[in-house]
Amino acid sequence: MKTEFWNGNMAAARAAQRARVQSIAAYPITPQTHTVEYLAKFVADGELHARLTKVESEHSALSACVGASSVGARTFTASCSQGIALMSEVLFFAAGLRLPIVMAVSNRTLSVPVNIWSDHQDTLVNRDTGWIQLYAASVQEVYDLVFTAFKIAENADVLLPVIVAYDGFILSHASEPIVPISQEEADAFMPPPGQGTWPILDPDNPQQFGEVLFPEWYPDFEYKKHQALVGSLGIAAQVWREFGAITGRTLTPIDTWFCEDAELLFVGIGSMMQTTRAAVLGLRARGAKVGLVNIRSFRPFPEQELRQALAGAERVVVLDRDIGYGTTGMVYPDVLRALYALPQRPIALNMIIGTGGKEITPQTIERCFELGLEASGERTVLWPDARGPEEGIPYDESIQLPPAPQPGGCALNGGAG
């Protein structure tokens, strides 16, 4: 296939098209909007034979997806931020009904303050809904993960919905070279849609789903759902190996980068880990023994793989582009769990960076590296790009918020600093 130059939202839409999705229901929200527009165009132009259901909210969007998936359709949606918040109760329905819906999420933080830019708060607060959660680090990965997500989700031993998350704007609106899979290769890889590996609503064979379950059997149901999610890690790895045999691009639950001799290892999710790779190359060139582990599958959590990757490090810095208010970032506790069984535990720090779209540059990561080397480990949660008495940016109580822009003037935005 010819190399294309697509943004992340186009990559998500094209991947869903290649997977021959049959039903789409989504409600537009910045920065996801393109995805819905592109899919609507594919359907209108006859490039994609799918039912596109117009809805009045995200709650309705996911409800329509639940309906479509319940009758056996390969089903796709896309959302983010407040949109996922509005879907909240239906997220649990979709997982509880074991419906293999795929949702692309162009990560955006949650209000208030109102902010349209990326962090991982919107998906991470939904970590316990029973969905698989995969995080893309590049536009190519958005495509590859959305496409393969259908095969993982529909595996008879999984039957769970999947979120493929990618940073809003920084991937959703950024264009990069991507190599799509051909329709012939896609059809050879992916089972035909609508073949129903899961129980479906069928008038000829009436059944009820989602009924009351009394306490005696409830734990058994929860146990099976949990076990399916845990077991999906191996199935995802298998699906990705098959995909790699076709494309030469092998995805894995985690990626390691200069881990072997590293004294300090970064761990995190999403596009910031690509920037961290660039920073690691720069730090290595100056003699620093530093590396990273990128977590692609956050749910299920690759505990064993991560423990193995982190085993030799003296210090581990978990980068969280989110905050679990009152405790730590939301990736950090799982990493600690992986470390706990090690005979020699490293100092494990949590650094909260890039919330609300604050740019994560190689300089941000270098600052995290310096703080990571200095820290005693007594204080575990640090905010290297925030202002505070003990934080990364020097703080002065007398500093006031910047005044509102004057009419006619405009300030240079964001990272061009």
Partner 1 sequence: MHEIRLVGRGGQGVVTAGELLGRAALSAGWWAQSIPTFGPERRGALSQATLRLDREEILLKCTTAHPDLLLVLDPTIWHQANVFQGLQAGATLVFNTSESPQEVADALADGRYGYQIAPEQYSIYTVDATAIALQELGRPITNTAMMGALVGATGLIEFDAVTTVLDERFGKRAGGNIAAAALARDGLRKLGG
CB of 213 to partner 1, least distance (A): 44
274 lines the binding site for partner 1 (CB under 8 A): yes
266 lines the binding site for partner 1 (CB under 8 A): no
Our CB check for partner 1 shows the closer of 205 and 413 to be 413
CB of 142 to partner 1, least distance (A): 12
416 lines the binding site for partner 1 (CB under 8 A): yes
CB neighbourhood size of 248 (10 A): 8
Tell me the C-alpha distance between 241 and 279, whole Å. 29
Our CB check for partner 1 shows the closer of 174 and 381 to be 174
CB of 260 to partner 1, least distance (A): 20
80, 137, 159, 160: residue in contact with partner 1 (rule CB under 8 A): 137
61 lines the binding site for partner 1 (CB under 8 A): no
362 lines the binding site for partner 1 (CB under 8 A): yes
Mark the segment that binds partner 1 (CB under 8 A) among 14-22, 66-74, 148-156, 274-282.
Answer: 274-282
51, 173, 284, 307: residue in contact with partner 1 (rule CB under 8 A): 173
Our CB check for partner 1 shows the closer of 228 and 331 to be 331
414 lines the binding site for partner 1 (CB under 8 A): yes
174 lines the binding site for partner 1 (CB under 8 A): yes
- Count the residues of the shown chain that bind partner 1, applying the rule CB under 8 A: 39
Our CB check for partner 1 shows the closer of 231 and 356 to be 356
Residue 286 makes CB contacts below 8 A (sequence gap 6+) with none
58, 167, 320, 385: residue in contact with partner 1 (rule CB under 8 A): 167
Q: Pick out residues in 186-225 that bind partner 1 (CB under 8 A).
A: none
Q: Pick out residues in 106-125 that bind partner 1 (CB under 8 A).
A: 116-117
Nearest 5°: CA angle at 330, between 324 and 334? 140
Mark the segment that binds partner 1 (CB under 8 A) among 19-27, 151-159, 268-276, 284-292.
Answer: 268-276
* Spatial contact of 319 and 353, defined as CB atoms under 8 Å apart: yes
* Spatial contact of 298 and 134, defined as CB atoms under 8 Å apart: yes
Footprint on this chain of partner 1 (rule: CB under 8 A): 3, 5, 7, 31, 116-117, 137-138, 167, 169-171, 173-177, 271-272, 274-275, 277-278, 281, 359-363, 408-417
